[in-house]
Structure 1
């Protein structure tokens, strides 16, 4: 039980890595920083302590010297009194206490020679030589007080000189009290040594403590790093396995995730635990209440859970998870659900794909037009379609998957009555094809193929109709043989007819050449005649104009003027007819080339209408123009103007007095449309398809009796066709006629091929 509880505790700790991972890293870093800071702090304390001790030692050194100087001055006074007293008694003698505590005393006579001194002073020298060359004590004596001097032997000392009172027979002498630094600072040195020893001991103890602390901190850091490394490895293993650890504290309603669990959902790791409310917002509502499932597990006493559910990721889509967990008791006696959640989205997708593929395969087998059956290596049924059941008269229950071949064939109502191998070459160990006739007279062609696992696939096609057709074909072959003989007899007749057709074809080609030559001759004749007739017509028109103008005087009678007018009109009409004939011949011969450039359609329409306005007023026909400004296209200006003029002229010819002719120009999608509308006599519906052919005219007669050449519309249609456009006419007898010219805005392939140096139209 203890081992199980320890394992459970370890599992709980491991499952809480998500919450503790970041804290562990933080603690490791904090420990390292604390160790470094402690080292620095202890070093700083040691330096501060040393500095403090040094300052204290310096202060004590100075204080001791000052106190020693004060004591030395008192001592010198006492010695000088005792020496004076002994000198009055006879001879100057040093008191017994003169050499105590390392002090040294020397007595000099009036000449400065030492007469008495304590050991180890030299009693034979001069007092000034004893005190050093630079001393001023012997000169100033009591006034100088206690001074710090360097003795003749190089040692430092405190010294003072006192003048002695003169005695009988002797001058005034001096007494010098000397205290070397060694004697004055003996206690100070011992105190400094003691404090240094204590400081060294404290520093050693501190160093040992610091070393122990650093070693312990290093061990803790290594252990923490090992733990972090282990956690990272486990998280990496969990992440590569697309799974995460869960630790659900049921009593507190808190859930701990591993870092791999957060990474699986595309979330940032959280150092804190999650509440069930936070988890519930991410669960799919159709996968059941997870807390209800857990409560059921706790209530039933079950120790494990295996549940599949969907959870929303950071991207907003759902991930399929399979949670496998065990219910354990923690150290506080609470219930915890600890386990692992595995990403099974791919498995679910594969399962759904497999189910879909299986359904599609069964549908495909069912839709096969032949009987299909698949047997395994032990001759047990794997799959078949309804046509196999119908072919053998089997019920669906009898052909259940797993049924043996013998049992299924025993239940078949239409047994095999005859088998026949189709081809010996097809009979191999892995495949065969044969035909079988059933007892009811039907024929089957059965193809069997072995599969890699030892089973085989059998496809049976009903060839009853094919067999019957074979019999019919045999009968038809006999009849065909008889028909071949009849066909052979007819062959000679066909060959003779073919010879006649060849002769007729040759004659056709000869006549076609003659017709083309005649057509060419006609075109040349018309062209030549037009040129020959234009010369006298120009003379007739010119002379008639001169006679109308009565250039050489009055003609004498108004009838002559009318006759001249008729001659002029007839000449102009005949000239126009000849011009149309010549233009038509050029168009038919392909000699007309377009001089294409940008054309102002609105201006061309208005200019054309103005040319016919006088004729319209003479005939009392109202003519109007409605053209949008800015209408432009790419084409031959003269050809477009001539085509518009033909339509306007025809409308004026067939419109009686009081009528109206309206010309409109509009922009369509990729072309410009020009409409010429009149309310004249109109054209019969049967005659409209003929309009535009050379020399074709409607039956309507113009008021002057002349019907025209019938070439105007043909010329206009041909010119517009060269632009890639079209001419459309719509008319009703007694109502009027509407003619439309459609010209492309951009040049078409046909218009480009017709572009070149333009041959002018007359």
Structure 2
């Protein structure tokens, strides 16, 4: 222990002496460098002073020639380079104070009469003064910048007792203000900067030229010398320390490396097992493959280690052998491998091999190495998505009418066969086609196209094949567009036939008026035409009912499958866009189904097929159920929804479902036409032998001229304050019809801009219980 301390003491003493010697050598070299720097700086300042002195001599010669009238002022300006003003002192004194000439005149006046000299001004001008032959002094101005160019790495200062002017770099604050009394000097400043200053007087004047050059406290050569000295000290020290530590350090490194390798192997094994992955290496020179334990388990091998490529082919089905061989052959050219294939029993997994070419650290030979992953779940998810897409496509293809889906930029995403066939676009349609291009392309198949008077987004199209299509376009939540068409050829023909019958009836009525003698025959003909018209109306209603039934069947399939895909009941869809498309299809399908249900109910009522089932019920119960169903829609618009039901109401003979539907229709209309933050009150009370159901809102109200039209099928308010109100106009008509089927009635009152109250009265005893009293009151 003592020997070690003596050894270390001797080593430290030797290093200390070496450090001291090198430090003294560095200090001496630095002093020599600074003396050389100051000598050079002093020589440069004297050279600059000599330049100013020669400029002064030249200026005096020019001034003397001008004063003797031997030289004009303009010629003198051309000869004297750098002089931009040459005037008499008397003229210069007339210049305003603070100007260049004014300040030059003020300085020149201090010179005794008849003497010449050179001065500085605060404007940075050198002023040369000379007396002319007649005793009138002349002065000449020369900017300092005309004599000296702006130094880049130094600061130049010219000063006299009355003025000072500096330009160039400012490396050390105040260094140029100090004129060394005994020659050049070096001053230290902030930020590790030292500045050398040298001043030289200009002969024949009180002007001095000072040059200041900044240099870092440690120059590059100083740092280099320090580094060299440090290396000279560090080299023996490191050699000594290395000799004493080499053996012990080598032993520690071997132990640490062994521990690190064991820990890395353990962690890699845990990661591979947790990720259901393995490692493989393939030597294309020997055509052998090494499989780790995890890779052997994925392929179903009973052991790991070195195997052949034929062993790998034995774990894959026969139909995949050619693809595997091709992937390995291609890997030799491109330098990487990616392959997915199913493994046969007992593994029964889908595996994926990924790897690239690298050099073996032991043999140095190029080998392919990578990982093997279990991708069975991903493969099954992809299969489920493809199956769901096939089911959805089959449902849409089963829809008899045209169907198309567009994205937010109105580019075609999907269409069914009917869309292409109806418009003759079998060879034209392609994914990504714009909506405008499709409109132009289908023009050849369209004979007549007109917008529906009931809905601006509904178009009636007559095809050249003789069929009529009702095309409805609705926006999707993501900004896209859904196009659905329905064949209404029969309906259009019935309407045309009805119009023809009405025209015949009008002509028959006119003929009856002209010929009184044919009154009996005309009356009989009128009855026949009326029967035909009623039959046509009945046929239209029956067609609407049958058409709605036919439309609901494919729509239910579309809604069901889109809801399954949106909720991912059969598994994840993968890409997020598929879920958005499913939601768009579900929303549009539900909206279309609601419209069809309203049309179906109206058609049943007009055809006399709608029936109600009355029973003793609490009148408040169906109202409460309807409000619970629609309350969320009111909360989305921040509308206050209030149920005001009277106490101790008697039971009523009525259809529970019909009352709930009537309240839903009225409250839905109220929410639609009430601004955010409004209020809707639903009141239920007894008024004589009837129960009053009223819905009052604080919405936009109804113009007086429109109130008489409402309650008829497909009638809507024309003035809606530019509000977007989707609907068919069947809500009030259905409510009125349901009320009349109960033996009741519908009332409507409104103040435009303040609110609306829509109510229906139902007799407590059920249909027919009021008898002639209600009929007489309605007639009155």
TM-score w.r.t. length of structure 2: 0.31
Length-normalised TM-score, structure 1:
0.32
Bigger relative contact order, structure 1 or 2, given CA contacts below 8 A and separation 6+? Answer: 1
Rg larger in structure: 1
